């Protein structure tokens, strides 16, 4: 009997892993009782209630017809890179805006972010002496979880801003509009298109002089350290040039994309059953790929084991992140890993830890032990997000973060992993290539009075270019000393 293709069937027959789908000649890697929409039968947090269901159906129908934004081959390549990270052979740098706006889909904003991530990765390469895997929080980081459904603007109560994919920042545009999902698709595609174009045309070319601009660094000792690193990197570049050792790899660079997989209506519509590029063409094995980004993560507010987000994530072939923090009981971790990575593939799951500088020392060791003393030892990527546990309000309620807290959490995290015999494989940062004044401190010594100079974040405070680069130097220093 002929079977309909499995795509978007709600009820999929349970097929054992690696078995042929009867009558199709295709092999499948079907996750039991899972479909792109099986999350709909579970309880869900942060779920939008769209007022106009017909408009919602129209938007998701439009999305289903559009081509993938990323290719399975790239997703599989990132999975292999993250396997190396889990095994201590590479380092993961992930960064970008807290809330990406459609308006950031501009040449200058995209270029400055690529350049900053590249520059940071060179510093990390020099410091840790390991290959660096780069993932941007970009080309799709448009949905934000909020702690409160309403907020006060100019004395008026309005629905909270939930990110450009859901509603508008303008208080008059706070109603949920499903058509924004289609706009998000087009802005993601345009952003990634320019990332690809810029990279394949030499923006990351190491033979171009990079502007390291260290003039702002006030501390002479720090400045001397940075200058030493920069001159080493320049020498290395010149040396490679002199001996003619530059190959293709030295001219180009991989940059993968990521976002929080929050809005499942959108993610479901871009989830496609496609050939695993590693399987033989004569017997293609199919997997479900989320084609909206290479890497997606589950946020701190939506990682409940029996809820919708974990249900959706367990079925996709992309590498995944899960934010964990002070509200994660160590006992929950194995349940999450068994659900999200039953095959125990190294690098499939990245645990993104975010506690706060004052809590990390008391909470991280138990999380490490829960994983590393189990059958999941050496399979996860441990990544430090030193941003989200260190948000504070100052003055008239402006959200900020102290650079020294961010660095302190990172430094303690590095030390704790060393003591526990585990490997800190990466960092997850909120940053921008622009000269914003959102986080306090750093080598420029930004103070509370400086915050109003250029505070442009629509959500959490980001490191500016100088602060981000400084953090990279401090990590490099940890490895070299
Ligand atoms: C974020 O990464 O912007 C975020 C909301 O983080 P968390 O889920 O860790 O609070
Ligand atoms: Mn954030």
pLDDT digits (tens, 9 = 90+) for 400-414: 999 999 999 999 999
Asked whether the beta carbons of 456 and 428 are under 8 A apart, the reply is no
Whether residue 15 is predicted with pLDDT greater than 50 in this model: the reply is no
Backbone angles phi, psi at 107, to 5 degrees: -55, -50
pLDDT of residue 210: 58
Contacts of 29 (CB under 8 A, 6+ apart): 17, 18, 276, 285, 286, 287, 317
Q: Which atom of ligand 1 is nearest to the CA of 460?
A: 3
In angstroms, the Cα distances linking 135 to 231, 303, 469 are 26, 21, 16
Could you give the angle at which helices 107-128 and 465-480 cross, rounded to 10 degrees? 10
* Distance from residue 200's CA to the centre of ligand 1 (Å): 31
pLDDT of residue 83: 97
pLDDT of residue 361: 98
* Distance from residue 93's CA to the centre of ligand 1 (Å): 16
pLDDT of residue 207: 55
Burial of 27 (0-12, 13-18, 19+ CB in 10 A): buried
Among 96, 141, 260, 409, residue to substitute to test ligand 1 (most atoms within 8 Å of Cβ): 260
Q: Using a CB cutoff of 5 Å, list residues around ligand 2, an ion.
A: 98, 460
Whether residue 200 is predicted with pLDDT greater than 90 in this model: the reply is no
Nearest residue to 131 via CA among 97, 99, 91: 91
pLDDT of residue 29: 54
Give the Cα separation of 237 and 116 in Å (integer).
18
Q: What is the pLDDT of residues 228-253, one digit of tens each?
A: 877 887 787 777 777 776 655 554 56
Between 19-23, 327-331, 344-348, 440-444, the lowest mean confidence (pLDDT) is in 19-23
> Which residues does a 6 A CB cutoff place in the pocket of ligand 1?
98, 145, 299-301, 323, 354, 388, 460
Among 140, 145, 432, residue to substitute to test ligand 1 (most atoms within 8 Å of Cβ): 145
Asked whether the beta carbons of 258 and 135 are under 8 A apart, the reply is yes
* Distance from chain centroid for Cα 324: 14
Asked whether the beta carbons of 142 and 177 are under 8 A apart, the reply is no
Helix or strand holding residue 288 (H, E) = strand 285-290
Asked whether the beta carbons of 180 and 199 are under 8 A apart, the reply is no
Average pLDDT of span 84-89: 97
Residue nearest ligand 1's atom 3 by CA: 98
Residue nearest ligand 1's atom 9 by CA: 300
Confidence band (pLDDT; 50, 70, 90) for 465? Answer: confident
Q: Which residues does residue 159 pair with via DSSP β-bridges, in sequence order?
A: 150
Q: What is the pTM of this model?
A: 0.91
* Distance from residue 320's CA to the centre of ligand 1 (Å): 14
Q: Which atom of ligand 1 is nearest to the CA of 385?
A: 9
Q: Which atom of ligand 1 is nearest to the CA of 325?
A: 9
Q: Which atom of ligand 1 is nearest to the CA of 302?
A: 8
Contacts of 373 (CB under 8 A, 6+ apart): none
Q: Which atom of ligand 1 is nearest to the CA of 428?
A: 2
Count other Cβ atoms within 10 Å, centred on residue 359.
16
Average pLDDT of span 342-348: 95
Give the number of whichever ligand sits closest to the CA of residue 460. Answer: 2
Helix or strand holding residue 295 (H, E) = strand 295-298
């Amino acid at each position: 009997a002929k079977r309909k293709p499995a795509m978007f069937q709600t009820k999929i027959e349970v097929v054992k892993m690696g078995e042929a789908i009867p009558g199709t000649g295709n092999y499948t890697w079907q996750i039991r009782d899972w479909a792109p929409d099986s999350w709909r039968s579970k309880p869900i947090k942060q779920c939008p209630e769209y007022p106009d269901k017909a408009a919602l159906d129209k938007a998701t129908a439009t999305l289903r017809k559009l081509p993938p934004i990323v290719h399975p081959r790239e997703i599989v390549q990132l999975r292999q890179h993250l396997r190396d990270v889990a095994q201590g052979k590479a380092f993961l740098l992930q960064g970008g805006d807290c809330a990406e706006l459609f308006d950031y889909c501009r040449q200058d904003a995209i270029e400055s972010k690529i350049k900053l991530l590249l520059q940071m990765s060179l510093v990390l390469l020099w410091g840790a002496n390991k290959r660096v895997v780069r993932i941007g929080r970009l080309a799709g980081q448009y949905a934000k979880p909020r702690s409160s459904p309403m907020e006060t603007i100019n004395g008026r109560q309005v629905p909270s801003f939930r990110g450009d994919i859901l509603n508008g920042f303008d208080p008059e545009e706070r109603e949920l509009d499903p058509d924004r999902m289609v706009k998000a698709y087009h802005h993601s595609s345009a952003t990634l298109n320019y990332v690809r174009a810029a990279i394949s045309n030499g923006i990351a070319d190491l033979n171009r002089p990079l502007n390291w601009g260290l003039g702002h660094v006030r501390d002479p000792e720090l400045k001397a350290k940075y200058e030493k690193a920069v001159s080493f990197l320049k020498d290395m570049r010149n040396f490679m040039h002199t001996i003619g050792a530059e190959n293709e790899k030295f001219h180009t660079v991989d940059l993968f994309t990521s976002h929080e997989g929050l809005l499942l209506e959108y993610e479901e519509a871009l989830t496609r059953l496609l050939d695993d590029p590693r399987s033989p063409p004569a017997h293609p094995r199919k997997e479900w790929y989320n084609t909206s980004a290479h890497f997606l993560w589950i946020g701190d507010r939506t990682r409940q084991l029996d809820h919708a987000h974990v249900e959706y994530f367990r079925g996709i072939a992309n590498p995944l992140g899960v934010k964990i923090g002070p509200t994660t009981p160590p006992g929950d971790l194995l349940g999450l890993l068994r659900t999200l990575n039953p095959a125990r593939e190294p690098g499939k799951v990245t645990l993104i830890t975010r506690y706060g500088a004052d809590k990390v020392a008391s909470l991280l060791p138990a999380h490490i032990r829960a994983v590393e003393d189990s059958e999941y030892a050496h399979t996860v990527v441990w990544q430090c997000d030193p941003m989200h546990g260190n948000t504070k309000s100052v003055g008239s309620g402006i959200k900020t973060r102290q650079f020294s807290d961010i660095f302190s959490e990172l430094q303690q995290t590095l030390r704790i992993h060393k003591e526990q015999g585990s490997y800190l494989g990466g960092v997850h940062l909120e940053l921008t290539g622009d000269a914003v004044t959102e986080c306090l401190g750093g080598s420029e010594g930004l103070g509370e009075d400086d915050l109003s100079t250029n505070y442009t974040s629509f959500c959490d405070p980001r490191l500016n270019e100088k602060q981000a680069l400084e953090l990279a130097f401090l990590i490099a220093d940890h490895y070299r000393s």
